[in-house]
Amino acid sequence: MYICLEGIDGSGKTTQIKLLESWIQKCGIDVLRVFEPTDNEVGKLIRKLLQNPDAINENFQITLALLFAADRTVLMRDITEAEALAKIVISDRSFYSSMVYQNDSEWIAEINKHAKQPDLVILLDINPETAVSRCDGMDSFEEQNFLASTAKKYLELADHQNFMVVNANNGINKVHDDIKRIVAHKLGMCI
Ligand SMILES: Nc1ncnc2c1ncn2[C@@H]1O[C@H](COP(=O)(O)OP(=O)(O)OP(=O)(O)O)[C@@H](O)[C@H]1O
Ligand SMILES: [Mg+2]
Helix (H, G, I), strand (E, B) or coil at 130: helix
Number of domains making up the chain? 1
Which residue out of 8, 9, 15 has the highest number of ligand 1 atoms within 8 Å of its CB and is therefore the one to mutate? 15
> Does the pLDDT at position 96 exceed 80?
yes
d(CA 91, CA 35): 5
Please give the pLDDT value at position 3: 98
d(CA 44, CA 37): 7
Q: Could you list the residue range(s) of the whole structural domain that residue 69 is in?
A: 2-187
* 123 — pLDDT class (breaks 50, 70, 90): very high
* Dist. CA 18 → ligand 2 center (Å): 10
What ligand 1 atom has the least distance to the C-alpha of 8? 25
d(CA 154, CA 56): 19
> Does the pLDDT at position 59 exceed 90?
no
Whether residue 37 has its Cβ less than 6 Å from ligand 1: no
Please give the pLDDT value at position 138: 65
Mean pLDDT of the chain: 94
* Mean pLDDT computed over 120-133: 94
* Percentages of the chain per state (helix, strand, coil), in multiples of 5: 60, 15, 30
Among 74-78, 105-109, 138-142, 170-174, the least confident range: 138-142
Decide which of 49 and 140 is more confident: 49
* % residues pLDDT > 90 (the chain): 83
Whether residue 172 has its Cβ less than 6 Å from ligand 1: yes
d(CA 83, CA 78): 9
The answer to whether 3 touches 118, Cβ cutoff 8 Å, is: yes
Please give the pLDDT value at position 190: 72
Annotated binding site: 7-14
pLDDT digits (tens, 9 = 90+) for 8-41: 999 999 999 999 999 999 999 999 999 999 999 9
φ, ψ at 72 (rounded to 5°): -65, -35
Residue 164 neighbours by CB under 8 Å, 6+ apart = 120, 121, 122, 123, 182
* 57 — pLDDT class (breaks 50, 70, 90): confident
pLDDT digits (tens, 9 = 90+) for 128-174: 999 988 987 766 666 888 899 999 999 999 999 999 999 999 999 99
d(CA 154, CA 125): 8
Q: Is 48 exposed, middle or buried, given 0-12, 13-18 or 19+ CB atoms closer than 10 A? A: exposed
CATH number at residue 85: 3.40.50.300
> Does the pLDDT at position 107 exceed 90?
yes
